[in-house]
Amino acid sequence: MPETILLIDDDLELSKVVRLCLGGAGYTVLTAANGAEGLRMLREHQPDLVLLDVMMPEISGWELCERIRSISTVPIIFLTARQTEGDKVKGLDLGGDDYIVKPFRPAELRARVSAALRRARMARPQKETILRFGEGDLVINTDTHTVLVRGKRVVMTPTEYRLLLYLAEQSGRVLTTDQIYEAVWSTETDALRTSVKWYIWRLRAKIESDSQHPRFILTEPGVGYRLGPD
């Protein structure tokens, strides 16, 4: 299947050029005109690479890069008119993988994108489709989106499943409420950050033998939550 590139840039003419340039090279190109839309599309489509402008309204490319890095390791290439050495260093320090200055040559863009994707493929571990915790008492099948607790299937809403899967994929790591909210809920949703606590309670009611003394979804006081044991 063709790899997917997400371009986040408010310049509509440039977006057309990038679609032609990379679409002609066999990539699927998605575009977002602002940061909020970009985050939503990142979660929905899970692109293989992000092209990111710096100067955008509401959410700058700098801030957006930090938000993306808090929830994803997707390769990020800055595509911007800002060309000082300090800008390039800042972009890479914030988590960018490469930095291309506008105007750019189509051949250079294709080469940089190809190189970033190649590096990502080489570094990407084989993703497990079956996640097991507590000696198999909790099993998550990411292919079928099913959850088994002590051998019995548990029905979950899409949001509950996304939350559980995010905790499982970060197993052992303490996650703050903000990190969980950014990863599971879109910035355009009406849900509040307090939804995290509510959904944690709902998950515990479904997967824990005793939700008052949880075995899997553990609270780290003053910090957040983590999933264990694995």
Q: Both 106 and 158 in a single domain?
A: no
pLDDT, residue 157, reads 84
DSSP state string for 142-207: TTTTEEEETTEEE---HHHHHHHHHHHHTTTS-EEHHHHHHHHS-TTSS--TTHHHHHHHHHHHHH
Q: In the predicted model, is pLDDT for residue 200 greater than 90?
A: yes
Read off the pLDDT of each residue in 48-68 and give the average, rounded to a whole number: 90
Same domain, yes or no: 66 and 109: yes
Q: What is the mean pLDDT of residues 34-49?
A: 90
Last residue in a domain, options 67, 99, 123: 123
Q: For residue range 19-38, list pLDDT tens digits in order.
A: 999 999 999 999 999 989 99
Do 210 and 100 lie in one domain? The reply is: no
Residue % of the chain over a pLDDT of 90: 43
Same domain? 116 vs 178? no
Domain containing residue 38: CATH number? 3.40.50.2300
- Which one of 78, 105, 123 terminates a domain? 123
* Residue that is last in its domain, among 123, 146, 162: 123
> Quick one: pLDDT at residue 226?
93
- Note the pLDDT tens digit of each residue in 109-121: 999 999 999 888 7
Residues 170 and 103 in one domain: no
Query: What are 96-150's pLDDT values in tens digits?
Result: 888 998 888 999 999 999 999 988 877 655 556 789 998 889 999 988 888 999 9
C-beta neighbour count of 58 within 10 angstroms: 10
The secondary structure of residue 209, as a DSSP letter, is S
17 plus 117 within the same structural domain: yes
Q: Are residues 148 and 179 in the same domain?
A: yes
Report the C-alpha gap between 78 and 53 in whole angstroms: 6
Same domain, 90 and 147: no
The residue range of the domain holding 217 is: 130-227
CB neighbour list of residue 8: distance below 8 Å, 6 or more residues apart: 31, 32, 34, 35, 37, 38, 50, 51, 52, 53, 56, 61, 64
Residue range 60-102, pLDDT digits in tens: 889 999 888 877 888 999 988 887 888 888 888 888 888 998 8
Choose the weakest-confidence range: 40-44, 53-57, 124-128, 142-146.
124-128
- CB atoms near residue 148 (< 10 Å): 17
Q: Which residue type sits at 86?
A: G
206 and 108, same domain (yes or no):
no
Q: Say whether 131 sits in a helix, a strand or coil.
A: strand
Say yes or no: 15 and 106 in one domain.
Answer: yes
CB atoms inside a 10 Å sphere around CB 123 = 9
**pLDDT class of 59 with cuts at 50, 70, 90:** confident
CA-based Rg of the chain, rounded to a whole angstrom?
20
Contact 91, 99 (CB under 8 A): yes
Q: In total, how many domains does the chain have?
A: 2
Give yes or no: residues 111 and 10 share one domain.
yes
**pLDDT reported for residue 128:** 60
Residue type for position 223: V
188 has pLDDT over 50: no
Q: Are residues 137 and 96 both part of a single domain?
A: no
Entry pTM: 0.57
CATH of the domain at 216: 1.10.10.10
